[in-house]
Structure 1
C-alpha cells in the first residue's frame, strides 16, 4: 500500500466499519434489553448469598445485555439504593465477566458474508412483527447484522496493510506483553467498549496480522479498560456502590498480574485445546487464531471466576479494608431507625414505632424546606448545615432519597398493622398516618421540583432578588419551616396542640403571602431588578404556599385523630 489517498481510504473504511460496529452493538443491546424488559434487573436484584447462583445470573444477564458494563452499572445502582449489598454483587460481577466473552465467540464464527441477510431479517421482523416481543427481537437481530457488517468493513480495511511497513512495525510492539496490555487498556477506555476492541483484535487475527501471543495481552488490557464505565457510574455514590466498581477493577487487575508472565504457556495451552493446523501460513493463521483468541478470552474469565469464588468472603473483606464505609456517609444513607417487625404482634406498640419514624420523616422534610431558598435569599458558603461535605443542593437530594425510601417502608409497615385486628381508634390513626406519610413525601417532591427548576435558573439569572424581596421570602420561609419542625415534634405523640394553632392561625400565613405578592408587584412597577426576577420570585412564593398546604393537611390529620379519641 502506498500513497496518501490509499492510507486515507484504509483509515476511512476502518473507522466507518468501527462506527457501524459500535452502532450495531448499541442497537442489539437496546433490542435485547427491551425484549427482556425489567426481567434482567429483577433477576439481578433477587440474587442472595448463593455464590453459584450469583455467577450464573451474572453470566446470563451479561449475555442478554451483551455488556458487562451495563450489568456492573446496574449493580452499582442497586447497591447504592440498598436493594442489594456489595457482598451479594461480587458473585454477579464474576459471572458478568464470563458472560461478556460470548461476544468474542460469536465474532470468531466469521458470519461476515451473512451480515446483510441477518440485518434484513431483523429489519423485516422489527417492521412486520405483530407483538412487541417480536419487534424488539427483530431490532436486536438487525443490530447483530450491522455489527458483523462493520466487522467485514474493518477486515477489508486491514487487508491492504499486510505489506505496509509502518503498520507491521507497530504490530511488532504488540509482541511485548506489557505494551500490548497498555494498548488494550487505553483503546478500550477511549471507545468504552471491550466488545468493540475485541472485534478489532479478531479482525486483525482474521487477516493474519495478529498472533495468539500478541492477542492475549490485548484481551487482558481490554478487561481492565472496560472498568472505566463502572468507575464513572460509581462516582458520587455511596462507598458500598463504589466497592462494586473497585471489585471489577481488582478482579481484572488480578488476572493480568497472574497471566502476564505466563502468556506463552497459556497460548500453547489454548492451541492444544483449539482446532489447529500444522501450517503457519497466513491463511491458516487467519482461520485458527480468531477462534483461539475467543477461547483464550472465555477460559481466562472462567478460570478467574472459579479461582476467586471460594475466596469471596476474603475478597469482600479486602474491598472493605481498601474502601471502608465513611461514618458520615452512613448517616446520609437511607435507613430505618424505629420500625420493628417484632412489634407487629402488638399493634398499639407498632403504631408508636410508626409515629416515631414518621416524625423523623417530617424532621427530614423540614430541613429540606429550610434549605430550599438558600440560593436565592441567603449568602455564605454553599454547605449543608448537617453534612458540611455536601453542598446545599446535595443535602436536598440526599434527603429526598431518604424520604422516598422511608415513604415506601413506612407505608408497607402501616399496611401490615392495618391487617391486624385493631380497635376503632387505632384503625383511624393508622389511616391518618398513611395520609401523613404521603403528605410528607409530597413536600419532598415539591422541594425536589424547585431544586431542579430554579437552582439551574440561578445560573442564568441576570439580577439578584432585591433586599426587600429576600426579607419577605425569608419571613415566609421561617413560618413554613417552623410549621414543619413543630409538626415533627407533634407527630411522635400525635399531640394536637400545635396543629390546632396552625389551622386556627392559617389566616396569618395568607396575609403574609398577600403582603409579599403585593409588595413585589409594586417593586416590579418601579424597579428593573424586580421585573427581571419576577418569575422566580413568584415561583418561590408558590412553592412555600404548597408546603404550607401540606402542613395544614398533616395538622388536620393529627387533630382528627384526637377528636375521634374524645
Structure 2
C-alpha cells in the first residue's frame, strides 16, 4: 500500500481544514464582536450566564482551547474570579461541538456534501470578497470561504484515508482502541494535545469515520480523550501566570477528567455488558457529533451543581487562595488578545476603573487646600502614581490591539480610548499640583481669605462636576451628560476670567497677600485645565466618528 500517497493528502487536507476553520472563526468573531463585548458584562451576574457566554464565544472562535486560554488571561488579570471562570469553561466544552455538526452535515443534509457545496461556497465568498467594500461584507465573505475550505479539507482527508479500509492492520488498531478504553482515551488525548484543537481532532476522527474505519466503542473513548487533550493548551498558557490563573487551567483539566471518568465507566458497562455488538458497529460522522454533544452537555449538567467542589479541589491542588488585586496592577492580559472584541471591552472596563480613581482624587483635591491634611496630600500623590501606572499599562495594551486584525471602527474606538486615558491622566496630574500648593501653603503658614476661599470653592464645584459628568458620559455612552460637560466647561472658562480679574484688583488694593495670591491664581489655572480635559472626554463621546 502506498502510504506516502495517503499521508501527504491527509496532512494537506488537515491543513485546509484548520485554515478554513480559522478563516471562518475570524469572520464570525468580527461579525459578532459587539455582541461579545456586551456579553462580557454578563460575567458579573452568575455561573449559568458564564456557561452561555462560554458556549457562544467558543462557537464563534471555533476553539474551546482558545476560550480557556482567554479565561486564564481574565483570571490572571483579576477581572474574573474562579467561580465565573468555571461557568465559562463548562460552556466552552458545549460550544466546541458546533464544528462537528458542521462537518457531519454532509450526512444529514445531502445537499451540503463537500463535492456540491464547497466549490460553490468558495467562489461565492471570493466574489463577495473582491466586490464588497464594507468591512461587514468582507467578514461575511470570510465566513463563506472558510466554510468552503473547511469542507474541502474534510473531503480531502476522507478521500486520503479511504484506501486504509483494505488494511487489516490499520483497522485492528481501532478495534484494539475500542476494546481497551485506556488506549482509546490516550490516543484521543495525544492527538488533540499535539494539534492543540479539539475541533480539528474531532474533524480527523470524522474523516476516518467517513472512510468506514472507526468502530463505535473506539470513537467514544477517543472523543473522551480529546476533551482531556484540549486542556493542554490552557495548561501551557498558565505557565508563568499567577496561581489563580493556573488554578483556572487546572479547573478545566479536572472538569474534563472527572467527566471522562464518569462517562468511561458508563461506556465500559454499556459496551461490555449491555450491548457489545453496538460497540463493534462502524460509527458515522453524525453519530460522532451526537456522542460528542451528549458527552459535553451531559458532563456540564452532571457537574454544574458540584462545580464549587471542583473549584475548591483545584485551589487545594494549586495551593492558592483568591486574593485582592493592588490598585496599580493593570488588569489586562495578553491572552485576551486572541479575541480582539473582548480585549477591547476589557480595556474599556479598565479605563472605567482608572476613571473612578481619578474621581476620588479630584474629590480629595476639593478639600486639601483648606484642610492641608498630610494624610490627604499623601493619598492624592499615591493615587496619582497609581493612575500613571494604569495609564501606561492601558496605553501599551491598546496599541497591541491595533496591531491585530480588527475593523476600522475598532481602530477608531482604540484611538478614542487612548485620548480619554490621556485626558484622565492629565486631570490627575493637576490634582497632584493642587496637593502640592496645599503642602507649600502649610509649610509657609499661608491661608486664603474668606472671599478667596469661597471663590475657589465655587470654581472647584463647577470643574469637579464637569469631570464627573464626563466620566458618566463615557461610562454610559450618554450624549446628554456630555452636553452638560460642555456647559460646565464654558461656565468654568467664564468663571476663571471673572475671578482672576477680581483677584488682581484685590492685589492692586493690597487686600490680600501676594504670595497667597500666586497659589490662588495657580489653583484657578489647574481647575480650568481640569474642565478642559473633561470637555475633551465629552467630545470623544459626542463625536465618535472623529
Please classify the TM superposition score into its range, dividing by the shorter chain length: 0.5 to 0.7
**CA 1:494–1:253 in structure 2 vs 1: closer, same or farther (change >3 Å)?**
farther
**Residues 292 and 443 of structure 1: CA distance in aligned 2, closer, same or farther (over 3 Å):** closer
Contact 2:13 2:154 (C-alpha < 8 Å) held by counterparts: yes
Describe the superposition over 1:447-486 as per-residue Cα deviations: whole angstroms up to 9, x where unpaired: x99xxxxxxxxxxxxxxxxxxxxxxxxxxxxxxxxxxxxx
Matches of 2:197 and 2:274 in 1, distance apart? 25
Cα offset, 1:296, TM superposition: 0.8
* Higher RCO (CA-CA < 8 Å; seq separation 6+): 2
Kept after mapping to 2: 8 A contact 1:334/1:405? no
Q: CA deviation at 1:438?
A: 8.4
Residue pairs, 1:25-36, within 5 angstroms: 25-36=21-32
Distance (Å, rounded) in 2 between the aligned partners of 1:494 and 1:315:
54
Name the structure 1 match of 2:174: 171
Contact 1:58 1:99 in 2 (8 A): yes
Q: Encode CA deviations 1:53-90: one digit per residue, 9 max, x unaligned.
A: 22112112211111111211121111111111111111
Contact 1:334 1:406 in 2 (8 A): no
Answer with 490-499 or 205-214: which moved more: 490-499
Whole-angstrom CA distance in 1 between matches of 2:23 and 2:85: 27
SS in 2 for 1:46: helix
Instruction: Indicate whether 1:413 and 2:361 are aligned.
Output: no
Matches within 5 A, 1:12-51: 12-37=8-33, 39-40=35-36, 42-51=38-47
TM-score normalised by length of structure 2: 0.61
Deviation of 1:444 after TM superposition, in Å, equals 6.2
Question: What is the match of residue 101 of structure 2?
Answer: 105
Does 1:291 find its partner at 2:286? yes
Structure 1 residues 194 and 31: alpha-carbon distance in aligned structure 2, compared to 1, 3 A threshold? same
CA displacement 1:6-29 (0-9 Å, x = unmatched): 221111111111111111112112
TM-score when normalising by structure 1: 0.59
Cα distance in 1 for residues equivalent to 2:65 and 2:518? 53
Taking the aligned partners of 1:320 and 1:280, their CA distance within structure 2 comes to 38
Distance verdict in 2 for CA 1:192–1:45, change over 3 Å: farther
Q: Which runs of 5+ in 1 are unaligned?
A: 272-277, 337-360, 365-403, 450-487, 501-558
Counterparts in 2 of 1:268 and 1:279: CA distance versus 1, 3 Å: closer
Q: Distance in 2 between matches of 1:198 and 1:159?
A: 17
| Structure 2: runs of 5 or more not aligned | 107-112, 330-347, 398-431, 445-516, 525-546
Matches of 2:274 and 2:22, distance apart in 1: 31
Alignment partner of 1:441 is 2:409: no
Of 237, 241, 245, the residue aligned with 1:237 is 241
Of the three residues 318, 321, 335, the one matched with 2:326 is 335
Query: Is residue 315 of structure 2 the alignment partner of residue 320 of structure 1?
Result: yes
2:61 to 55, 59, 65: 65
Alpha-carbon distance in structure 2 between the residues aligned to 1:560 and 1:117: 77
Distance 1:232 1:108, change over 3 A: same
**Conserved 8 A contact 2:54-2:95:** yes
Provide Cα deviations, 1:501-523, integer angstroms capped at 9, x if missing partner: xxxxxxxxxxxxxxxxxxxxxxx
- Distance, in Å, in 1 between the alignment partners of 2:18 and 2:304 is 32
In structure 2, the CA distance between the partners of 1:439 and 1:92, relative to structure 1 (3 Å rule), is: closer
Partners in 2 of 1:178 and 1:39 — Cα distance? 41
CA RMSD in angstroms, aligned pairs only: 4.4
**2:79 — aligned with what?**
83
